[in-house]
């Protein structure tokens, strides 16, 4: 996933998660039941739907039972990985072409006056290449499906308690397990094609490293088949500790817009920090003054409290000491939230520079929320990066 | 803290709706251009409204040497029902979009809260979804569809990563602050 920390300019405010990673304030998530703000790595993902990035075809996991790995109507160029588009010849034969390099399916011989026949030709060409493996795959897939169906029936009967126990006992000794003994099942699990069966869901594309290379499309030639386009996924987020949903998607059959029904961002429950003026106080340049502005962008009033870090931690990591912190708690109402004038609190801290240009201080925020819970509290660490002046 | 950018009032036109256009930019076909407001066009920007309709949202920032040109297709018209002729399609740019310098854009639609990098070439009939990022030095071939919340880059541009859920918030804040800090010299 993309990180905005790489693009952001100094001076910068980052929030430190419990795992040690730092993110922008907008990129952090919040679990109200755990009263903790967390980063993307501290949340677990649950796949909500699969979609094609070209045609926008959406497959929601809860609704459909036959999920596919690749899109049925879109293909990828084997040379440059661009999505192919349809082409009509002067002879009125359909085919696929790449608009970036000059790859066409005509060079392979996959053209037809009927466009749907082009798909069958590509699938048949794939079958011929992988015919033997395809047969083994089909046989084992059918075997495993039958096992699953039998296991499903067993579980269904066990649920019905009024069914006599003798039936279940006779079923355990019955033909289903005789045909598929434990040894047979162990064999099948060791074979390679099972991995393909169990991995019914497409693997998400990890962060690719893009390198610019000299690419001359006219010099590229390929006799390969077009590659079926893999599906991408959208996910819901859950807290790892309490398994409560943090982000949930609305079911929409349009991949160009994704709306969220539940969203809990750190930004929605904590004050927004911004670095104001930064300047030296002394001629010797040993003291630095930083003005930090805090905005309340939520709908609720908040109480802030600051707690500076221990001296041991400051000395260990050669961090700056913060002086002149504001009073332990002060309230910040947002009565004028409807008006454009933003209320903010600001405090000025005089700092003593040791080595680095990094400030670290911890503070906690307690927010009063009307419903459903009375009072929520969030504790988190904030790092302020200033850079050289 | 965002840096304050000061400009000479003599070098920029400013309208009542808050649009700031530099006098060194080339804008044609103003009758067909519709801008919502609070946009900034820097030097050497070329905006072709004479070819087709151009509709622009609010808080658009277009940096130096950018060309915005409507895309085209081949089709039949009433005037030439038998022979194919070039037809220009309208260009639509939504709110909170930033376009970096030296890029050429011929897309049909650019969604909200997107950012396009430097030296990009976006070919004709491309559709860019909302909350997406296109990296520097990338080329989008014609007819590409960039889905929402995605990062594209490379030559040709390929799906790289997914953007976080809060990109809309980040992009809006960035562009609102940029517009506020773009202030004339006193």
Instruction: Give the DSSP letter of residue A284.
Output: S
pLDDT of residue A337: 41
Question: Interior CA angle at B30 toward B27 and B34, to 5°?
Answer: 110
pLDDT of residue B40: 94
pLDDT of residue A170: 46
Is the Cβ pair B111, A256 closer than 8 Å?
Answer: yes
Cα gap A105→A109, rounded to integer Å:
6
pLDDT of residue A271: 75
| Residue A99 predicted with pLDDT over 80 | yes
pLDDT of residue B179: 92
B119 touching A (Cβ < 8 Å): no
Cα gap A149→A34, rounded to integer Å:
40
pLDDT of residue A57: 78
| Residue B106 predicted with pLDDT over 90 | yes
| Residue B32 predicted with pLDDT over 60 | yes
Angular region, B113: left φ>0, alpha ψ -120 to 50, beta rest: left
For strands B104-105 and B121-122, give the pairing.
Answer: parallel
The distance from CA A5 to its chain's CA centroid, rounded to whole angstroms, is 17
CB-based contact A112:A93 (threshold 8 Å): yes
pLDDT of residue B48: 92
For residue A173, the SS3 value is: coil
Is pLDDT larger for residue A81 or for residue A259? A81
Angular region, A382: left φ>0, alpha ψ -120 to 50, beta rest: beta
Tokens of A12: 């910068």
List of chain A residues whose C-beta atoms are within 8 Å of the C-beta of residue B162: 1-2
Instruction: Give the DSSP letter of residue A12.
Output: E
Q: How high does pLDDT run on average in chain A?
A: 68
Global pTM value: 0.76
Tokens of A172: 């355990």
What is the rounded average pLDDT of the residues A4-19?
Answer: 78
pLDDT interval class at A193 (50, 70, 90): very low
pLDDT interval class at A178 (50, 70, 90): very low
Phi, psi (5° rounding) for residue A127? Answer: -65, -40
| Residue B96 predicted with pLDDT over 90 | yes
Q: How high does pLDDT run on average in chain B?
A: 90
pLDDT interval class at A239 (50, 70, 90): confident
B129 touching A (Cβ < 8 Å): yes
pLDDT of residue B46: 93
- The pLDDT tens digits for A372-388 are 444 566 667 666 666 55
Burial class (CB in 10 A: 0-12, 13-18, 19+), B149: buried
Instruction: Give the DSSP letter of residue A83.
Output: B
Least confident of A58-72, A110-124, A212-226: A212-226
What is the rounded average pLDDT of the residues A308-324?
Answer: 58
* CB-based contacts of B164, cutoff 8 Å, min separation 6: A1, A2, A4, A26, A27, A40
B117 touching A (Cβ < 8 Å): no
Among B162, B168, B171, most A C-beta atoms within 10 A, so best to mutate, is B162
Is the Cβ pair B159, A205 closer than 8 Å?
Answer: yes
What is the rounded average pLDDT of the residues A228-248?
Answer: 85
CB pairs under 8 A between A and B: 98
* CB-based contacts of A111, cutoff 8 Å, min separation 6: A89, A93, A94, A95, A105, A118
Among A5, A11, A84, A99, most B C-beta atoms within 10 A, so best to mutate, is A99
CB-based contact B159:B178 (threshold 8 Å): no
pLDDT interval class at B69 (50, 70, 90): very high
Is pLDDT larger for residue B147 or for residue A184? B147
* CB-based contacts of A379, cutoff 8 Å, min separation 6: A35, A36, A362, A364, A365
- The pLDDT tens digits for A328-375 are 444 555 444 444 344 444 444 444 444 444 555 555 454 444 434 445
Give one DSSP letter per residue of B105-162, joined into a string.
E--SEE-TT-EE-TT-EE-TT-EE-TT-EE-TT-EEPTT-EEPSSEEEETTTTEEEEE
């Amino acid at each position: 996933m993309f990180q905005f920390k790489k693009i952001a300019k100094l001076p910068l405010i980052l929030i430190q998660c419990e795992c040690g990673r730092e993110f922008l304030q907008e990129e952090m998530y919040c679990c109200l039941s755990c009263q903790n703000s967390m980063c993307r790595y501290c949340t677990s993902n649950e796949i909500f739907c699969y979609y094609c990035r070209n045609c926008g075809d959406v497959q929601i996991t809860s609704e459909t039972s036959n999920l596919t790995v690749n899109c049925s109507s879109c293909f990828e160029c084997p040379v440059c990985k661009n999505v192919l588009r349809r082409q009509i010849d002067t002879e009125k034969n359909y085919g696929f072409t790449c608009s970036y390099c000059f790859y066409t399916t005509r060079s392979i011989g996959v053209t037809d006056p009927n466009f749907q026949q082009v798909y069958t030709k590509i699938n048949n060409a794939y079958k011929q290449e992988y015919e033997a493996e395809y047969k083994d795959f089909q046989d084992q897939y059918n075997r495993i499906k039958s096992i699953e169906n039998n296991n499903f029936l067993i579980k269904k009967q066990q649920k019905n308690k009024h069914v006599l126990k003798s039936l279940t006992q006779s079923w355990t000794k019955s033909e289903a397990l005789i045909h598929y003994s434990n040894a047979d099942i162990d064999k099948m699990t060791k074979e390679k094609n099972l991995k393909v069966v169990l991995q019914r869901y497409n693997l998400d594309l990890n962060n690719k490293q893009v390198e610019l290379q000299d690419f001359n499309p006219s010099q590229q030639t390929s006799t390969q088949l077009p590659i079926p386009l893999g599906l991408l996924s959208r996910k819901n987020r859950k807290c790892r500790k309490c398994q409560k949903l943090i982000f949930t998607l609305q079911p929409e059959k349009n991949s160009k817009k994704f709306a969220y029904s539940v969203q809990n961002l750190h930004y929605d429950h904590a004050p927004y920090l911004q670095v104001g003026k930064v300047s030296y106080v002394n001629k010797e340049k040993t003291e630095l003054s930083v003005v930090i502005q805090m905005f309340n962008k939520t709908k609720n009033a908040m109480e802030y409290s600051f707690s500076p870090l221990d001296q041991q931690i400051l000395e260990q990591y050669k961090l700056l000491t913060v002086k002149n912190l504001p009073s332990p708690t002060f309230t910040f109402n947002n009565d004028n939230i409807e008006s454009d004038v933003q209320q903010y609190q600001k405090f000025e801290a005089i700092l003593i520079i040791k080595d680095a240009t990094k400030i670290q201080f911890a503070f906690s925020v307690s927010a009063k929320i009307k419903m459903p819970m009375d009072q929520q509290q969030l504790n988190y660490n904030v790092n302020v990066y200033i850079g050289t002046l | 803290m965002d840096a304050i950018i000061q400009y000479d009032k003599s070098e920029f036109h400013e309208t009542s709706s808050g649009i700031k256009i530099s006098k060194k930019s080339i804008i044609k076909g103003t009758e067909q251009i519709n801008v919502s407001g609070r946009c900034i066009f820097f030097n050497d920007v070329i905006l072709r409204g004479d070819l087709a309709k151009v509709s622009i949202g609010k808080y658009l920032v277009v940096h130096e040497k950018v060309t915005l040109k409507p895309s085209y297709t081949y089709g039949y018209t009433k005037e030439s029902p038998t022979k194919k002729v070039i037809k220009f399609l309208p260009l639509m740019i939504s709110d909170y979009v930033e376009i970096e310098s030296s890029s050429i854009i011929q897309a049909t639609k650019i969604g909200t809260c997107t950012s396009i990098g430097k030296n990009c070439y976006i070919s004709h009939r491309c559709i860019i979804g909302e909350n997406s990022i296109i990296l520097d030095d990338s080329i989008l071939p014609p007819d590409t569809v960039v889905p929402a919340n995605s990062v594209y880059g490379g030559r040709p541009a390929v799906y790289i990563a997914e953007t976080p859920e809060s990109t809309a918030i980040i992009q809006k804040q960035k562009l609102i602050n940029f517009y506020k800090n773009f202030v004339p010299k006193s």
